[in-house]
Amino acid sequence: MLSSRVSLSVAATAATPFRFISQIPNSRFLGQKKMSYLSNPISSSAIPKWNLKMEVSSGSNFTTRASAQPLKNADELIDSVETFIFDCDGVIWKGDSLIDGVPETLDMLRSRGKRLVFVTNNSTKSRKQYGKKFETLGLNVNEEEIFASSFAAAAYLQSINFPKDKKVYVIGEDGILKELELAGFQYLGGPEDGGKKIELKPGYLMEHDESVGAVVVGFDRYFNYYKIQYGTLCIRENPGCLFIATNRDAVTHLTDAQEWAGGGSMVGAISGSTQREPLVVGKPSTFMMDYLANKFGILKSQICMVGDRLDTDILFGQNGGCKTLLVLSGVTNLSMLQSPNNSIQPDFYTNKISDFLALKAATV
Ligand SMILES: [Mg+2]
């Protein structure tokens, strides 16, 4: 349950307002019960100085919704929107396998004139790298239709006119570096710092680059103490240094045998040492939604968000004012959706997206 949230309104360029919401951690990791989450108040030193206006609010804005309905008439839903935003893992594919019926479903939606967009919180790949994955799976998806949180981090920096003479320190994998490079930003860190160790001796002091103006944190399999200390020094000591998270997912699915610590664990370490909350650019923050709506000129009420996770995908759709469809082909099953502990109810649920092909007016 959302007990508090911090909203950051960012006046980017001209009159392009973006809205950011700090994420609420997933509480399903390792069987933990749901926990309330209180954001630390943002200190004045956290306010970036580049063309930003921030508005901090607190208090609950959780809205109780009616229970999700099984999708019975797919045509009605398809006709009611012009854009479908799909989460990828658990919706389009599972690991490296395509989910049944996906190509035919995407073809049918395109033939009916729908715009398709693919959004993922996974920051380890760039848009180009994701494009290759779609291609490998035999899906005809344009790079422009893919929005990964690695891209969102670079797009966010562009949206605030982050100075090109400042650098970005990256805690994360290759996807973030690739997107920063494409956007023309200078960066350091990333995989290169994965093998670095700190050898403590009396009086040892770690130097850091004072021209780092932003630290971007994403999922990082080579996370270490060097990176924590370097990122912490930049955020604490460089005036106005931004702290940006690609996502705060508690868990990820490196293998299908168990849940693995997700990007939220890296973000949590930096948040713990800096006592700062990050600007989150991935789901469920609405940055990507706002960016998409702005880029394509779409009304958010004309979007249906389709995902397999309640606390990222469905919340993302709801935060953006979109219609929402939960598919049970990924991490959420029906009993989790209907559990009294779950407070996030999509508009509809169904087994998998290819149900669109079968569900004219039948039942699930
Ligand atoms: Mg997913």
**What confidence tens digit (pLDDT) does each residue in 150-194 have?**
999 999 999 999 999 999 999 999 999 999 999 999 999 999 999
Structure tokens at 62: 């959780």
Amino acid at site 231: G
pLDDT above 70 as % of the chain: 81
Cα(27) to centroid(ligand 1), Å: 16
* pLDDT value of residue 96: 83
The reported pLDDT for the residue numbered 20 is: 39
pLDDT tens readout for residues 46-74:
334 343 333 333 333 445 568 899 999 99
Question: Of the residues 82, 135, 145, 259, which is catalytic?
Answer: 82
Helix axes 149-159, 174-182, angle to 10 degrees: 40
Q: Which two tokens stand for residue 174?
A: 């290759």
- List of domains in the chain: 7-62+151-280 (3.40.50.1000), 69-121+285-358 (3.40.50.1000)
> DSSP string of 255-309?
ETTEEEE-HHHHHHHHHHHHT-PPEE-STTSSHHHHHHHHHHT--GGGEEEEES-
pLDDT at 84: 98
pLDDT tens for 100-128 read 999 999 999 999 999 999 999 999 999 99
76 is catalytic: no
pLDDT of res. 64: 56
Q: Tell me: the pLDDT tens digits for 250-308?
A: 988 887 788 899 999 999 999 999 999 999 999 999 999 999 999 999 999 999 999 99
Ligand 1 centroid to Cα of residue 178, in Å, is 23
Distance 334 CA to ligand 1 centre (A): 15
pLDDT at 19 over 90: no
* Confidence band for 234, pLDDT divided at 50, 70 and 90: very high
User: Which three-class secondary structure state does DSSP give residue 186?
Assistant: strand
CA of 196 to the centre of ligand 1 (A): 32
Coil, strand or helix at 85: strand
Give residue 316 CA to ligand 1 midpoint distance, Å.
12
Look at 92-96, 276-280, 344-348 and tell me which has the smallest mean pLDDT: 92-96
pLDDT value, residue 162: 98
Q: What is the CA(96)–ligand 1 centre distance, in A? A: 13
> Which residues, 6 or more positions from 238, have their beta carbon under 8 angstroms from its beta carbon?
208, 210, 211, 212, 213
What is the model's pLDDT at position 360? 60
